[in-house]
């Protein structure tokens, strides 16, 4: 200050001052030197109290770095912290000192949307706060915890390897899955956690974040409520998926995906009244690749829109052939993935049906119950547009999700397909029998028809016939076959 005053005649800065009551406060001060013929005659200081400005700055900083709902660090700040920490470890690693380690957890609540839907957003907020508190009390003190976004959290565990991180993650999974009381309501919450560790899963902050996220998604696919570590095996699978993704893209563009058709038999008449269109992929090097493998890849990597459109196009062309062969009552049931609704405009469905001059009523769209849950309204509107034209909706894999009844109410399907898992043990399991007969009774009341999927034996067929199940699909009659064979089946069965 003195130096500046001597040389420039002025000084400006911030300092802490003490009020007469003893309270220290921040002030901003400007001092000017007053001279008369080069003699200093005075110094004049002008100051003002900047406590409130300081407080606002602090608040803004808090807002910029923290999540207001949970008080945890926000995503932006967290990424900065991880970047800085990894930078430090990498510097140390270059010094030839013993290598440091750290781990990242990515935590995502399973089906969180249900709480918002059932009890409202305020309740959802409270659940998010509860989880934040569980994180605070479970992870060790110098870990960095953040709310990564929506219902996602992330934790940086410093100086601890993957084994330690796995222990903590398992603890979290256990604690969170205990019944949790929120506003006097008992809720059952589960989480999926992905772990990446330095240096095994990556040596940059980007790689660690990406791989923990990938492991978390993997856990979602594996059935949620658990922990998945990004290890070598996962890395191999990841690379394999990327290879398949590229091959699949190629196959779609080259129209190498073909469609087979599985008969659905009317149990009263014994006639084939519908076929389910099922995508088939034969790769020259890999051989036959199951849709159970490539459909999830298509969904994950944004290819499902193109794939769905290709299948739809081929199915309409083939249905046209069937109708021209004289079987004009035959309906095609075509699978439609939840992801297709979000990745693609649905207009092509109407256009394709019109191009082949097919009646809308000859097409049925199969969706799964998770469709109803997936970001709601938009899909329900699209389904309503299908229905308005006369395209029927069928609810696939019924009974496997958490919300089968809700799905019936939201989607109002024309047909319910009881999942194969209930048919497979229907001879021996009283529970399966009960469920199937309940669904058939309920559907009769709701004027919805029922297809039993995966019927393989005469005994299963007999039980289902006794329950007056409307339609039968399964290897008992036929697997999915090429279009020529489908026509032969019609010629034999529907004489
Ligand atoms: P899904 O829709 O539940 O289709 C029925 C699956 O069960 C088919 O397997 C079918 O071959 C098999 N299946 C039918 N009857 C029997 C039986 O009696 N016993 C046994 N063990 N299995 C039977 P696939 O063709 O492997 O398809 C698997 C899944 O892939 C389908 O399940 C469907 O979710 C999906 N998928 C297939 N094609 C398409 C498509 O074009 N688009 C979309 N979005 N998904 C598709
Ligand atoms: Ca299906
Ligand atoms: Ca099914």
Q: In this structure, what CATH number is given to the domain that contains residue 32?
A: 3.30.450.20
Which pLDDT band, with edges at 50, 70 and 90, does 377 fall under? Answer: low
Please check whether residues 156 and 36 belong to one and the same domain.
no
Residue 288 has pLDDT above 90, yes or no: yes
Q: Is residue 347 part of a domain?
A: yes
Please check whether residues 221 and 130 belong to one and the same domain.
yes
Ligand 1 atom closest to Cα of residue 480:
11
Q: Is residue 62 part of a domain?
A: no
Ligand 2 midpoint to CA 352 (Å) = 20
Mean of the pLDDT values across residues 299-307? Answer: 92
Q: Is residue 120 part of a domain?
A: yes
Ligand 1 midpoint to CA 420 (Å) = 10
Mean of the pLDDT values across residues 244-255? Answer: 96
Ligand number, closest to the Cα atom of 278: 1
Mean of the pLDDT values across residues 188-215? Answer: 94
Ligand number, closest to the Cα atom of 263: 1
Pocket test for ligand 1, best of 278, 279, 399 (most atoms within 8 A of CB): 278
Pocket test for ligand 1, best of 335, 399, 464 (most atoms within 8 A of CB): 335
Ligand 2 midpoint to CA 383 (Å) = 16
Asked which of 16-30, 66-80, 449-463 is least confident by mean pLDDT, the reply is: 16-30
Q: Is residue 235 part of a domain?
A: no
Please check whether residues 267 and 218 belong to one and the same domain.
no
Ligand 2 midpoint to CA 337 (Å) = 10
Residue 364 has pLDDT above 80, yes or no: yes
Q: Is residue 8 part of a domain?
A: yes
Mean of the pLDDT values across residues 100-104? Answer: 93
Report pLDDT digits (tens) over 1-44.
Answer: 889 988 999 999 998 889 889 999 999 999 999 988 888 889 99
Ligand 2 midpoint to CA 184 (Å) = 40
Secondary structure (DSSP) of 152-191: EEEEEEET--HHHHHHHHHHHHHHHHS-EEETTEEE---E
Mean of the pLDDT values across residues 377-404? Answer: 87
Please check whether residues 415 and 459 belong to one and the same domain.
yes
Report pLDDT digits (tens) over 143-178.
Answer: 999 999 999 999 999 999 999 999 999 999 999 999
Ligand 3 midpoint to CA 417 (Å) = 6
Residue 402 has pLDDT above 70, yes or no: no
Q: Is residue 109 part of a domain?
A: yes
Domain boundary among 230, 253, 275: 230
Residue 343 has pLDDT above 80, yes or no: no
Q: Is residue 331 part of a domain?
A: yes
Residue whose Cα lies nearest atom 41 of ligand 1: it is 279
Instruction: State the greatest distance between any 2 C-alpha atoms of the chain, in Å, as a whole number.
Output: 122
Q: In this structure, what CATH number is given to the domain that contains residue 316?
A: 3.20.20.450
Please check whether residues 42 and 95 belong to one and the same domain.
no
Please check whether residues 162 and 299 belong to one and the same domain.
no
Please list, in sequence order, all residues whose beta carbon lies within 8 angstroms of the beta carbon of residue 131, skipping any fewer than 6 positions away.
109, 153, 176, 189, 191
Task: Identify the CA nearest to 486 among candidates 358, 367, 359, 315.
Answer: 315
Which pLDDT band, with edges at 50, 70 and 90, does 375 fall under? Answer: low
Q: Are 473 and 452 in contact (CB under 8 A)?
A: yes
Give the number of domains in the chain. Answer: 3
Domain hosting residue 413, numbered range: 241-493
Ligand 1 atom closest to Cα of residue 337:
44
- State what percent of residues in the chain have pLDDT above 90: 75
Pairing verdict, β 73-74 and 191-198: unpaired
Ligand number, closest to the Cα atom of 398: 3
Residue 94 has pLDDT above 80, yes or no: no
**Of 382 and 331, more confident:** 331
Please check whether residues 412 and 280 belong to one and the same domain.
yes
Residue 401 has pLDDT above 80, yes or no: no
Ligand 1 atom closest to Cα of residue 423:
18
- Residue 472: its H or E element: strand 471-473
The reported pLDDT for the residue numbered 373 is 61
Pocket test for ligand 1, best of 256, 261, 295 (most atoms within 8 A of CB): 295
Q: In this structure, what CATH number is given to the domain that contains residue 212?
A: 3.30.70.270
Residue 125 has pLDDT above 70, yes or no: yes
Residue 262 has pLDDT above 80, yes or no: yes
Residue whose Cα lies nearest atom 8 of ligand 1: it is 278
Please check whether residues 196 and 330 belong to one and the same domain.
no
Ligand 2 midpoint to CA 265 (Å) = 15
Please check whether residues 151 and 268 belong to one and the same domain.
no
Please check whether residues 369 and 471 belong to one and the same domain.
yes
Which pLDDT band, with edges at 50, 70 and 90, does 140 fall under? Answer: confident
Domain boundary among 168, 195, 230: 230
List, chain by chain if needed, residues with CB within 6 Å of any ligand 1 atom. Answer: 262, 278-279, 290-292, 295, 308, 311, 335-337, 396-397, 420, 454-456, 473-475, 479-480
CA dist., res. 280 & res. 256, Å (int): 9
Q: Are 450 and 440 in contact (CB under 8 A)?
A: yes
Please check whether residues 36 and 73 belong to one and the same domain.
no
Domain boundary among 206, 230, 254: 230
Mean of the pLDDT values across residues 368-397? Answer: 83
Ligand 2 midpoint to CA 436 (Å) = 18
Ligand 2 midpoint to CA 374 (Å) = 18
Which pLDDT band, with edges at 50, 70 and 90, does 441 fall under? Answer: very high
Residue 93 has pLDDT above 80, yes or no: no
Please check whether residues 80 and 18 belong to one and the same domain.
no
Q: Are 260 and 242 in contact (CB under 8 A)?
A: no
Mean of the pLDDT values across residues 393-413? Answer: 84
Residue whose Cα lies nearest atom 3 of ligand 1: it is 397
Residue whose Cα lies nearest atom 4 of ligand 1: it is 278
Q: Across all residues in the chain, what is the average pLDDT? A: 92
What letter does residue 123 receive in the DSSP assignment? H
Report pLDDT digits (tens) over 463-485.
Answer: 999 999 999 999 999 999 999 99
Q: Is residue 470 part of a domain?
A: yes
């Amino acid at each position: 200050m003195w130096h500046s005053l001597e040389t420039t005649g002025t000084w400006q800065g911030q300092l802490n001052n003490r009020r007469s009551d003893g309270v220290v406060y921040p002030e901003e001060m400007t001092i000017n030197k007053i001279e008369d013929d080069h003699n200093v005659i005075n110094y004049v200081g002008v100051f003002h109290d900047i406590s409130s400005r300081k407080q606002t700055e602090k608040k803004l900083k808090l807002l910029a770095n923290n999540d207001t709902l949970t008080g945890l660090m926000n995503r932006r700040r967290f990424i900065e912290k991880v970047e800085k920490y990894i930078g430090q470890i990498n510097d140390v690693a270059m010094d030839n000192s013993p290598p440091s380690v750290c781990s990242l957890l990515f935590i995502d609540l399973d089906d969180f949307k249900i709480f918002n839907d059932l009890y409202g957003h305020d309740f959802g907020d409270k659940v998010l706060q509860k989880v934040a508190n569980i994180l605070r009390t479970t992870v060790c003190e110098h870990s960095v915890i953040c709310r990564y976004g929506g219902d996602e959290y992330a934790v940086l565990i410093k100086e601890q390897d993957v084994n330690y991180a796995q222990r903590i993650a398992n603890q979290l999974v256990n604690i969170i899955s205990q019944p949790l009381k929120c506003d006097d309501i008992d809720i059952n919450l589960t989480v999926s956690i992905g772990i990446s560790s330095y240096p095994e899963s990556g040596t940059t902050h980007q790689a660690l974040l990406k791989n923990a996220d990938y492991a978390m998604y993997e856990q979602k696919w594996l059935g949620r409520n658990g922990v998945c570590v990004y290890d070598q095996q996962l890395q191999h699978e990841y690379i394999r998926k990327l290879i398949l993704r590229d091959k699949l893209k190629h196959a779609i563009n080259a129209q190498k995906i073909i469609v087979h058709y599985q008969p659905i038999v009317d149990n009263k008449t014994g006639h084939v009244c519908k076929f389910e269109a099922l995508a088939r992929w034969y790769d020259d090097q890999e051989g036959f690749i199951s849709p159970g493998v490539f459909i999830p890849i298509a969904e994950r990597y944004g290819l499902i829109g193109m794939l769905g459109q290709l299948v739809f196009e081929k199915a309409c062309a083939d249905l046209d052939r069937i109708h021209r062969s004289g079987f004009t009552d035959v309906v095609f049931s075509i699978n439609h993935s939840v992801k297709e609704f979000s990745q693609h405009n649905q207009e092509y469905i109407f256009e394709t049906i019109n191009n082949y001059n097919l009646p809308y009523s000859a097409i049925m769209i199969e969706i799964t119950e998770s469709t109803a849950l997936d970001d709601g309204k938009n899909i329900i509107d699209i389904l309503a547009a299908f229905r308005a034209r006369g395209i029927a909706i069928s609810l696939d894999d019924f009974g496997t999700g958490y919300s089968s009844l809700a799905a019936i109410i939201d989607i109002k399907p024309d047909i319910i397909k009881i999942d194969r898992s209930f048919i497979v043990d229907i001879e021996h399991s009283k529970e399966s029998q009960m469920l199937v007969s309940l669904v058939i009774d309920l559907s009769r009341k709701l004027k919805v028809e029922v297809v039993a999927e995966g019927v393989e034996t005469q005994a299963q067929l007999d039980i289902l016939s006794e329950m007056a199940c409307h339609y039968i699909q399964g290897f008992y009659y036929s697997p999915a076959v090429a279009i020529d064979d489908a026509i032969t089946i019609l010629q034999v069965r529907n004489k």
